[in-house]
A and B are shown apart, each in its own frame.
Chain A
């Protein structure tokens, strides 16, 4: 198996006013194609920072981050945007565009990737069917439940056939029953579609459903477990 993501001594320091905060203090990890990795850790352990770096939303302060063999720190603004189009991001608070319907939200990421109207409409409908929301695709986020909104977000993340999905507390804002359904969906996507998944969570129970998990604490990986 080839490594899709490889972090070597990855460091990230933020300035909180004038005080430097070391969010990552030397992370080494490898994620291979088809993997389902859970990053587990308490709040402030640096797991979201790690996810943002892998998703090219931010740049590392030090160390190397290779995505499909390319060092992220060498990419310019446009190339980073290009990389983000090949990554599917799922957020804790869904981050859907409120004025768009479920289908339009899924179409948006495809329209950003220059896909034509007819094709993206068909794909959006297929993806919403995959996540079980075909009947609700013309509803706006405000008319959908938390679980349904997260399904739309997952469908949107899958829209451009991403090499991997990054999930930041995907079940953090929904009830436990719906969370289980979402986890089932995520596992199905990993197993049936072969999409690599990196999921950040502070919930041990959810993390154990991944193929592999790493424990983070204070900006470093403290433990790695294969489930």
Chain B
């Protein structure tokens, strides 16, 4: 029997039981949709974060911190070494003397509040040297309105776009030339003490997007480093950003080593490449984990296919007997049954990929909205925009996996069908 005819025979059997075939296909659709949605969202998230890192974290910069990781989020460090070692603002002088270092800046950051017109917003208060920070982050630490003064006065404040326009609708929280109250609670003092001062907004940054992992952030406010030292009552810094003379791997490696040695190996030095590698690994694990969970639902769908094929085998025993009496080979009977599962798998995978893609976009849209709301409360998140990414490998993988699971679970029923003895099958009631 020609393969075209086998396929059309299989199709006619599926068409006969539309509802049953539809429900079986639905199982595959759900499994594939879950896989595609989860993978394309995580891929989108990875791409967004990678892009953010690449813009905020130039390849010729190093991050020096005391923690086990790099400065991340409001608290400044992800995991701490616990050695008690501290970095200070004037440690930049030590770093500046190291070969290949063109400049370095200390950053002090704390979570605090900005109050204006009776309303409060949680922000990350970042103390930096404006001129040097602007020179390292020349594309992101840029004023949209107002000016970032290279030699700022003590009360100067530069605010991120989401601090000025948190609802993205031009209803401004504060604007250039406003005087805002900056608050911070010193929790290490006994009893905890609220610190407040009035700053003058000299500039609103242009929108950066995403969340500033290392570089400038939409939901942070920037104050001069000297003011930060007096306001926070410390000259201990959270991290030092080092600009190198070039981004050669050899330069990055040797300078990283030199910086570590200069501080008796008590500091962590991270390069953009290393961070991106770690991030990529983390995302691979997340993707694998999520795909694994989704694959379980596809496995359940596979068992559904097997079940339905077994029922079909019982119902069509006589039909198989007729086919064999007409001279159909056992192998062709096998192909007829596998053809049915292939069609179910193909339809399920195709619809699943489509609906998974739609689902990913809906989730991204909801997440995006949620991100804006979250931005009201949490510092460090400025409304993440995730664009789901459906890579060709995810597309092909989902298709192959959907069809593969369908075919594998149909193997046993198909084999049983092909092994039926014609005379017994014809006698089956």
Contacts and interface: CB of A to CB of B under 8 A. Distances in A.
Nearest to A108: B326
A84 B324 contact: yes
A91 B321 CA distance: 12
Interface stretch (A33-41, A51-59, A65-73, A178-186): A51-59
Q: In the complex, which of the residues A91, A99, A112, A160 has the most CB atoms of chain B within 10 Å of its own CB atom?
A: A112
B5 interface: yes
A175 interface: no
B326 to A, nearest CB: 4
B423 interface: yes
A75 interface: no
Contact of A95 (B322, B332, B421): B322
Interface in B292-334: 318-319, 321-332
Contact of B426 (A57, A78, A112): A57
Given A57-B426, A58-B423, A97-B319, A109 B1 contact: no
Contact of B1 (A57, A95, A111, A160): A111
Contacts of B318: 95
A82 interface: yes
A108 B423 CA distance: 19
Given A95-B318, A112-B332, A114-B1, A84 B426 contact: no
B-side interface mostly: helix
Contacts of A135: none
B2 interface: yes
Interface residues of A, number: 27
A114 B2 contact: yes
A95 B16 contact: no
B382 interface: no
Contacts of B331: 78
Contact of B423 (A52, A82, A96, A114): A52
Contacts of A192: none
Given A58-B422, A84-B324, A95-B426, 20 more contacts: A57-B325, A57-B422, A57-B423, A58-B421, A78-B331, A81-B324, A81-B330, A83-B327, A84-B327, A95-B321, A95-B325, A96-B322, A99-B12, A99-B13, A109-B327, A111-B9, A112-B323, A112-B326, A112-B332, A113-B327
A52 B421 CA distance: 12
B329 A81 contact: yes
A186 B289 CA distance: 68
Q: In the complex, which of the residues B12, B327, B329, B423 has the most CB atoms of chain A within 10 Å of its own CB atom?
A: B327
